[in-house]
Amino acid sequence: MSGQDWLDKDFYAVLGVSKDASAAEIKKAYRTQARKFHPDHHPDDPVAEEKFKGIGEAYSVLNDPEQRQQYDAIRAMGSGGARFSAGQGGPGGAGFEDIFSSMFGGGGQPGARPAGGGAGNPDIDDLLKMFGGQGGGFGGGGPAGFSPNRAPAKGSDTSARTRVSFRDAALGTELRLTVDGRTVTVRIPAGVHDGQKIRLRGKGRPGPGGAPAGDLLLTLDVEEHSVWSAEGTNLRITVPISFDEAVLGTTLSVPLLDGGTVSLKVPAGTPSGRTLRVRGKGLQTKKSTGDLHVTVQVAVPTHVEGAAKQAVEDLRAALAEEDPRAGLTEAAAR
């Protein structure tokens, strides 16, 4: 995304928040707007799709404190909030307009137009390079802080947002994205989580004159899975078992995320809702490997007839002395 894009677009208005909105307010507004214009709710609607992209673009900037600060500064400068008259600051002190005029081709002469800008103003991307550390600054050697021996400035960083499936987020994947009109291939590492930002070196905007490209700051929206969930590097799954398996014990064959299975022993007398752990079968990242947490859920049959019904009645008679709710009333009254 170019600096001119930032100048032209009011991201606060896109999300419907004020300029002093907190991070929590921005996140809440993004979720509301994204849900409203999500393509799943507006199939084949190019207007809604464009609004959804704009909402994601706005959130990716305002949700990042550093980018939000730069965005606010550029917007303020574009509206005239950062302009000073020549000579401000005392005798011999040149104002911003004089500095910009000399740095961007005006030569400080009355009526001169800076190169690359409009109507006497420097190009906004040139300003970004000045204040964003991309193109020199005021501290180097040579005129106006630029050194003739300095290596070419690398391209600027850019940001994007994409959705990935739970499986791709857990196991890692490779994606092809369109960023600033360019198609880039990015590698998503294993074990990323919803809302995570990853920095992809050299995937940003190309540098001028063959200089290195900037970085791509990619925000990930991870889709929920109907069976799997994750907490850090630990995987969670719920497995149904029958009443007799819970009472007498059993050995389960539990599926793994990568397509295999693992055997899990369920002890006799295991209550519904108990979680059993299988070490080393969670997510594998470069730093660590998590565990698999299996929660067993006793499945109650909906139709019991004949011998099965008689067996349950016999069991109830045999266990008549046991009260599963013993002590509940007393505990609730404390």
Tokens of 247: 């009472």
- Confidence at 249, pLDDT banded by 50, 70, 90: very high
Q: Is the dihedral of CA 165, 29, 200, 194 positive or negative?
A: negative
Of 213, 219, 292, 204, residue with least CA distance to 1: 204
Task: Report the distance separating Cα 213 and Cα 211, nearest Å.
Answer: 7
271 and 219 Cβ atoms separated by less than 8 Å: no
* Alpha carbon separation from 183 to 125, 204, 293 (Å, rounded): 22, 11, 39
Q: Residue written as tokens 């104002």? A: 95
pTM value is: 0.52
**What is the pLDDT at residue 276?**
97
DSSP strand pairing (182-188 vs 173-179): antiparallel
CA atoms within 13 A on the CB side of 156: 22
Q: What is the set of domains in the chain, with CATH numbers?
A: 3-136 (1.10.287.110), 158-222 (2.60.260.20), 229-323 (2.60.260.20)
Q: Residue written as tokens 């960083």? A: 157
Helices (H), 164-223: 166-171
The 10s digit of each residue's pLDDT in 274-315 is 999 999 999 998 889 999 999 999 999 888 899 988 988 898
Q: In the 8-state DSSP scheme, what is residue 190?
A: T
Tell me the DSSP string of 120-146. Answer: T---HHHHHHHHTTSS--SSSSSGGG-
Q: Return the CA Rg of the chain.
A: 31
Q: Residue written as tokens 């409203």? A: 36
Instruction: Kindly state the helix (H) or strand (E) to which residue 34 belongs, with its residue range.
Output: helix 23-36
The 10s digit of each residue's pLDDT in 182-233 is 888 889 999 999 999 999 998 888 888 778 889 999 999 999 999 999 999 9
DSSP strand pairing (216-222 vs 158-164): parallel
Tokens of 223: 């889709």
Average pLDDT over residues 14-41: 88
Tell me the DSSP string of 254-321. Answer: EE-TTS-EEEEEE-TTPPTT-EEEETT-S-B-SS-B--EEEEEEEPPPS---HHHHHHHHHHHHHTTT
> What average pLDDT does the chain have?
80
The 10s digit of each residue's pLDDT in 60-103 is 889 888 888 888 888 887 655 444 444 444 444 444 444 444 44
CA atoms within 13 A on the CB side of 210: 0
Task: Report the distance separating Cα 56 and Cα 40, nearest Å.
Answer: 15
Burial label for 26, CB within 10 Å (0-12, 13-18, 19+), is buried
